[in-house]
Amino acid sequence: MLIKRFIFFIGLLLTITSQANEKIPENETTVFNETFSWQAMGNIFVTYNPSLLKGHDQEEAFDYLGAGILLDVYYEGFFIQSNHRRVSLQGAELGYQLVVTPKWELDLISKTYIFGYEPDDIIDSADKPIPTLEGLSNREPGEGVGLRYTRYHANASLSVDFATLAPLSESNGWVLDVLYTYMLPYRNWDFYLSAGYTHYSEKVMDYFYGVNSAEVTPDRAYYEANAGYRVQLELFAQHPISTSWSFAGGATYSRYSDSTKDSPLVDAQDLAKVKLGVIYVF
Protein backbone atom coordinates (compact mmCIF):
# COMPACT_ATOMS: atom_id res chain seq x y z
CA MET A 1 0.00 0.00 0.00
CA LEU A 2 2.89 2.39 0.78
CA ILE A 3 4.38 1.71 -2.68
CA LYS A 4 1.02 2.42 -4.33
CA ARG A 5 0.74 5.67 -2.37
CA PHE A 6 4.33 6.64 -3.28
CA ILE A 7 3.78 6.04 -7.01
CA PHE A 8 0.54 8.02 -7.00
CA PHE A 9 2.15 10.84 -5.03
CA ILE A 10 5.13 11.11 -7.39
CA GLY A 11 2.75 11.23 -10.36
CA LEU A 12 0.82 14.02 -8.70
CA LEU A 13 4.01 15.95 -8.01
CA LEU A 14 4.89 15.91 -11.70
CA THR A 15 1.88 18.15 -12.32
CA ILE A 16 3.08 20.77 -9.82
CA THR A 17 5.34 23.55 -11.04
CA SER A 18 5.64 25.47 -7.75
CA GLN A 19 9.16 26.22 -6.56
CA ALA A 20 10.02 23.97 -3.58
CA ASN A 21 11.43 25.27 -0.32
CA GLU A 22 13.53 23.13 1.92
CA LYS A 23 12.41 21.46 5.16
CA ILE A 24 15.29 20.22 7.30
CA PRO A 25 14.71 17.96 10.31
CA GLU A 26 16.26 18.89 13.63
CA ASN A 27 19.44 17.26 14.95
CA GLU A 28 20.59 15.38 11.90
CA THR A 29 23.33 15.27 9.27
CA THR A 30 22.80 17.19 6.06
CA VAL A 31 24.64 16.34 2.84
CA PHE A 32 24.74 17.40 -0.81
CA ASN A 33 24.95 21.12 0.02
CA GLU A 34 21.79 21.00 2.14
CA THR A 35 19.58 19.76 -0.71
CA PHE A 36 19.28 16.27 0.76
CA SER A 37 19.00 15.15 4.39
CA TRP A 38 17.93 12.00 6.14
CA GLN A 39 17.68 10.35 9.51
CA ALA A 40 17.23 6.63 10.20
CA MET A 41 16.08 5.29 13.56
CA GLY A 42 15.20 1.93 15.03
CA ASN A 43 12.69 1.48 17.82
CA ILE A 44 11.76 -1.29 20.22
CA PHE A 45 8.50 -0.90 22.10
CA VAL A 46 5.62 -2.44 24.01
CA THR A 47 2.07 -1.20 23.48
CA TYR A 48 -1.39 -1.45 24.89
CA ASN A 49 -3.64 -0.92 21.86
CA PRO A 50 -7.30 -1.90 22.32
CA SER A 51 -9.73 -2.10 19.41
CA LEU A 52 -13.12 -0.54 18.75
CA LEU A 53 -14.42 -3.81 17.33
CA LYS A 54 -16.58 -6.28 19.21
CA GLY A 55 -14.93 -9.54 20.20
CA HIS A 56 -11.54 -8.13 21.22
CA ASP A 57 -10.72 -9.03 24.82
CA GLN A 58 -8.59 -6.54 26.73
CA GLU A 59 -5.69 -8.98 27.10
CA GLU A 60 -5.51 -9.19 23.31
CA ALA A 61 -4.74 -5.48 23.18
CA PHE A 62 -1.21 -6.01 24.49
CA ASP A 63 1.58 -6.15 21.95
CA TYR A 64 4.33 -7.26 24.33
CA LEU A 65 7.21 -6.53 21.99
CA GLY A 66 7.48 -4.79 18.66
CA ALA A 67 10.27 -3.29 16.59
CA GLY A 68 10.56 -1.14 13.50
CA ILE A 69 12.66 1.16 11.36
CA LEU A 70 11.77 4.85 11.20
CA LEU A 71 13.02 6.97 8.32
CA ASP A 72 12.90 10.72 7.73
CA VAL A 73 13.98 11.95 4.29
CA TYR A 74 13.98 15.50 2.90
CA TYR A 75 14.96 16.47 -0.64
CA GLU A 76 14.16 19.69 -2.53
CA GLY A 77 10.82 20.17 -0.80
CA PHE A 78 9.85 16.49 -0.92
CA PHE A 79 9.75 14.68 2.42
CA ILE A 80 8.97 11.38 4.09
CA GLN A 81 8.49 11.70 7.84
CA SER A 82 7.98 9.01 10.43
CA ASN A 83 6.14 11.04 13.09
CA HIS A 84 8.09 9.15 15.75
CA ARG A 85 6.95 11.65 18.40
CA ARG A 86 3.36 10.41 18.21
CA VAL A 87 1.76 7.59 20.18
CA SER A 88 -1.05 7.07 17.68
CA LEU A 89 1.36 6.44 14.81
CA GLN A 90 -0.34 5.44 11.55
CA GLY A 91 2.70 5.03 9.34
CA ALA A 92 4.93 7.35 7.36
CA GLU A 93 3.70 10.52 5.71
CA LEU A 94 4.68 11.56 2.20
CA GLY A 95 4.70 15.26 1.46
CA TYR A 96 5.79 18.08 -0.78
CA GLN A 97 6.18 21.69 0.34
CA LEU A 98 4.22 24.10 -1.81
CA VAL A 99 4.80 27.26 0.26
CA VAL A 100 7.11 27.80 3.23
CA THR A 101 7.38 30.95 5.36
CA PRO A 102 8.82 31.45 8.86
CA LYS A 103 5.31 31.36 10.38
CA TRP A 104 3.30 29.01 8.19
CA GLU A 105 3.58 26.27 5.59
CA LEU A 106 1.38 24.69 2.92
CA ASP A 107 2.11 21.10 1.92
CA LEU A 108 0.75 18.47 -0.38
CA ILE A 109 0.37 15.44 1.92
CA SER A 110 -0.40 11.72 1.68
CA LYS A 111 -0.90 9.52 4.76
CA THR A 112 -3.05 6.82 6.34
CA TYR A 113 -5.99 8.57 8.01
CA ILE A 114 -7.74 5.48 9.37
CA PHE A 115 -6.62 1.90 9.93
CA GLY A 116 -8.21 -0.95 8.03
CA TYR A 117 -8.91 -4.40 9.40
CA GLU A 118 -9.23 -7.99 8.19
CA PRO A 119 -11.99 -9.86 10.09
CA ASP A 120 -10.61 -13.34 9.33
CA ASP A 121 -7.19 -12.43 10.74
CA ILE A 122 -8.79 -10.96 13.88
CA ILE A 123 -10.79 -14.16 14.42
CA ASP A 124 -7.73 -16.35 13.85
CA SER A 125 -5.66 -14.29 16.30
CA ALA A 126 -8.40 -14.43 18.93
CA ASP A 127 -8.69 -18.20 18.44
CA LYS A 128 -12.43 -18.04 19.09
CA PRO A 129 -15.63 -17.28 17.15
CA ILE A 130 -16.57 -13.61 16.77
CA PRO A 131 -20.10 -13.67 15.28
CA THR A 132 -20.15 -9.95 14.43
CA LEU A 133 -17.05 -10.39 12.23
CA GLU A 134 -17.78 -13.79 10.65
CA GLY A 135 -18.07 -13.42 6.86
CA LEU A 136 -17.46 -9.67 6.92
CA SER A 137 -15.48 -8.18 4.03
CA ASN A 138 -12.04 -6.69 4.63
CA ARG A 139 -11.81 -2.96 5.25
CA GLU A 140 -8.71 -1.60 3.51
CA PRO A 141 -6.70 1.23 5.14
CA GLY A 142 -7.92 4.76 4.50
CA GLU A 143 -5.03 6.18 2.49
CA GLY A 144 -5.59 9.80 1.54
CA VAL A 145 -4.02 12.69 -0.35
CA GLY A 146 -4.71 16.37 0.26
CA LEU A 147 -3.45 19.71 1.51
CA ARG A 148 -2.00 20.53 4.92
CA TYR A 149 -1.77 24.03 6.36
CA THR A 150 0.62 24.35 9.34
CA ARG A 151 0.95 27.41 11.56
CA TYR A 152 4.01 27.77 13.82
CA HIS A 153 4.22 29.72 17.07
CA ALA A 154 7.15 29.43 19.52
CA ASN A 155 7.12 25.80 20.74
CA ALA A 156 3.70 25.05 19.26
CA SER A 157 2.21 24.13 15.90
CA LEU A 158 -1.31 23.83 14.50
CA SER A 159 -1.89 21.73 11.40
CA VAL A 160 -5.07 21.27 9.36
CA ASP A 161 -5.35 18.53 6.71
CA PHE A 162 -8.13 18.32 4.17
CA ALA A 163 -7.77 15.07 2.25
CA THR A 164 -9.69 12.85 -0.11
CA LEU A 165 -9.49 9.06 0.13
CA ALA A 166 -10.92 8.49 -3.36
CA PRO A 167 -7.71 8.00 -5.42
CA LEU A 168 -6.01 5.53 -3.06
CA SER A 169 -8.69 3.84 -0.96
CA GLU A 170 -11.75 1.67 -1.35
CA SER A 171 -13.56 3.85 1.17
CA ASN A 172 -13.76 7.00 -0.97
CA GLY A 173 -15.00 10.08 0.94
CA TRP A 174 -12.96 12.80 2.62
CA VAL A 175 -11.30 13.60 5.95
CA LEU A 176 -10.61 16.79 7.91
CA ASP A 177 -7.76 16.32 10.40
CA VAL A 178 -6.75 19.02 12.90
CA LEU A 179 -3.82 18.68 15.33
CA TYR A 180 -2.38 21.13 17.87
CA THR A 181 0.96 20.23 19.51
CA TYR A 182 2.90 22.04 22.22
CA MET A 183 6.49 21.04 23.06
CA LEU A 184 7.42 21.54 26.72
CA PRO A 185 11.13 21.08 27.59
CA TYR A 186 11.97 20.19 31.19
CA ARG A 187 15.59 19.46 32.13
CA ASN A 188 16.59 16.61 29.77
CA TRP A 189 12.99 15.74 28.93
CA ASP A 190 10.90 16.84 25.98
CA PHE A 191 7.15 16.60 26.50
CA TYR A 192 4.76 16.85 23.56
CA LEU A 193 1.17 17.72 24.47
CA SER A 194 -1.31 17.27 21.64
CA ALA A 195 -5.01 17.68 21.00
CA GLY A 196 -6.65 16.54 17.77
CA TYR A 197 -9.96 16.42 15.99
CA THR A 198 -10.67 14.25 12.92
CA HIS A 199 -13.91 14.47 10.94
CA TYR A 200 -14.84 11.58 8.64
CA SER A 201 -17.36 11.99 5.85
CA GLU A 202 -20.38 9.72 5.56
CA LYS A 203 -18.75 7.53 2.88
CA VAL A 204 -15.69 6.93 5.04
CA MET A 205 -17.75 6.02 8.10
CA ASP A 206 -20.07 3.76 6.14
CA TYR A 207 -17.16 1.87 4.57
CA PHE A 208 -15.40 1.12 7.87
CA TYR A 209 -18.32 0.73 10.27
CA GLY A 210 -21.37 0.19 8.08
CA VAL A 211 -23.00 -3.18 7.31
CA ASN A 212 -24.45 -3.59 3.81
CA SER A 213 -27.33 -5.86 2.86
CA ALA A 214 -24.99 -8.66 1.71
CA GLU A 215 -23.27 -8.70 5.12
CA VAL A 216 -26.38 -8.92 7.29
CA THR A 217 -26.58 -11.97 9.61
CA PRO A 218 -28.59 -12.78 12.77
CA ASP A 219 -25.63 -11.38 14.77
CA ARG A 220 -24.99 -8.39 12.52
CA ALA A 221 -27.79 -6.00 11.63
CA TYR A 222 -27.88 -3.69 8.62
CA TYR A 223 -26.27 -0.35 9.45
CA GLU A 224 -25.70 2.75 7.36
CA ALA A 225 -23.35 5.12 9.15
CA ASN A 226 -23.57 8.90 9.19
CA ALA A 227 -20.56 11.24 9.18
CA GLY A 228 -18.54 10.97 12.37
CA TYR A 229 -15.50 12.20 14.28
CA ARG A 230 -12.68 11.31 16.64
CA VAL A 231 -11.32 13.59 19.40
CA GLN A 232 -7.84 12.86 20.78
CA LEU A 233 -5.66 13.97 23.69
CA GLU A 234 -2.06 12.80 23.73
CA LEU A 235 1.07 13.02 25.86
CA PHE A 236 4.44 11.89 24.50
CA ALA A 237 7.80 12.14 26.29
CA GLN A 238 11.37 11.61 25.14
CA HIS A 239 14.54 11.46 27.25
CA PRO A 240 18.13 10.80 26.04
CA ILE A 241 19.89 7.79 27.54
CA SER A 242 23.12 8.15 25.54
CA THR A 243 24.29 9.84 22.34
CA SER A 244 22.39 7.27 20.27
CA TRP A 245 19.67 5.88 22.56
CA SER A 246 16.66 7.62 24.04
CA PHE A 247 13.61 6.57 25.99
CA ALA A 248 10.27 7.35 24.34
CA GLY A 249 6.74 6.74 25.48
CA GLY A 250 3.32 8.16 26.03
CA ALA A 251 -0.42 7.70 26.06
CA THR A 252 -3.35 8.83 23.96
CA TYR A 253 -7.06 8.99 24.70
CA SER A 254 -9.60 8.89 21.85
CA ARG A 255 -13.36 9.41 21.90
CA TYR A 256 -15.45 8.52 18.86
CA SER A 257 -18.82 9.85 17.74
CA ASP A 258 -22.16 8.13 18.30
CA SER A 259 -22.25 7.18 14.61
CA THR A 260 -19.23 4.95 15.32
CA LYS A 261 -20.53 3.53 18.60
CA ASP A 262 -23.96 2.72 17.10
CA SER A 263 -22.43 0.33 14.56
CA PRO A 264 -23.11 -3.38 15.26
CA LEU A 265 -19.39 -3.95 14.63
CA VAL A 266 -18.26 -1.63 17.41
CA ASP A 267 -18.04 -2.29 21.14
CA ALA A 268 -16.44 0.89 22.51
CA GLN A 269 -16.64 4.65 22.20
CA ASP A 270 -13.57 5.56 24.25
CA LEU A 271 -10.09 4.09 23.78
CA ALA A 272 -6.77 4.61 25.58
CA LYS A 273 -3.47 3.56 24.04
CA VAL A 274 -0.09 3.35 25.81
CA LYS A 275 3.30 2.93 24.14
CA LEU A 276 6.71 2.59 25.84
CA GLY A 277 10.10 1.88 24.31
CA VAL A 278 13.49 3.07 23.19
CA ILE A 279 14.71 4.72 19.99
CA TYR A 280 18.17 4.28 18.44
CA VAL A 281 19.45 6.91 16.02
CA PHE A 282 21.82 5.48 13.41
Quote the pTM value. Answer: 0.84
What is the rounded average pLDDT for all residues in the chain? Answer: 86
The pLDDT value recorded for residue 109 is 96
Residues 98/108, Cβ–Cβ less than 8 Å? yes
Counted residue by residue, the chain has a size of: 282
Q: Are strands 189-200 and 174-186 parallel, antiparallel or unpaired?
A: antiparallel
Residue 169 has pLDDT above 90, yes or no: no
The pLDDT value recorded for residue 62 is 59
Residues 248/240, Cβ–Cβ less than 8 Å? no
Main-chain phi, psi angles of 204, to 5 degrees? -65, -50
Where residue 128 falls among pLDDT bands split at 50, 70, 90?
Answer: confident
How many other CB atoms sit within 10 Å of the CB of residue 186?
A: 9
Task: Name the maximum alpha-carbon separation found in the chain.
Answer: 65
Residues 108/16, Cβ–Cβ less than 8 Å? yes
* C-alpha separations of 213 from 168, 186, 216, 259 in Å: 25, 55, 5, 18
> H helices of 136-250, where?
202-209
pLDDT in tens, 242-279: 999 999 999 999 999 999 999 999 988 999 999 999 99
Q: Mean pLDDT, to the nearest integer, of 130-148?
A: 93
Q: Mean pLDDT, to the nearest integer, of 77-93?
A: 84
Residue 9 has pLDDT above 70, yes or no: no
List of E strands, the chain: 30-31, 36-48, 62-75, 78-81, 93-100, 104-114, 142-153, 156-164, 174-186, 189-200, 228-240, 245-256, 270-281
Using DSSP, state whether 4 is helix, strand or coil: helix
**Helix (H), strand (E) at residue 121:** helix 119-126
Residues 166/173, Cβ–Cβ less than 8 Å? yes
Q: Mean pLDDT, to the nearest integer, of 103-108?
A: 96
Residues 93, 97: Cα–Cα separation, whole Å: 13
Residues 91/70, Cβ–Cβ less than 8 Å? no
Residues 268/241, Cβ–Cβ less than 8 Å? no
The pLDDT value recorded for residue 68 is 86
Residues 259, 113: Cα–Cα separation, whole Å: 18
- Superfamily per CATH, domain 2-281: monomeric porin ompg (2.40.160.40)
Q: Mean pLDDT, to the nearest integer, of 208-228?
A: 95
* C-alpha separations of 200 from 171, 204, 252 in Å: 11, 6, 19
What are 177's strand-pairing partners? 161, 198
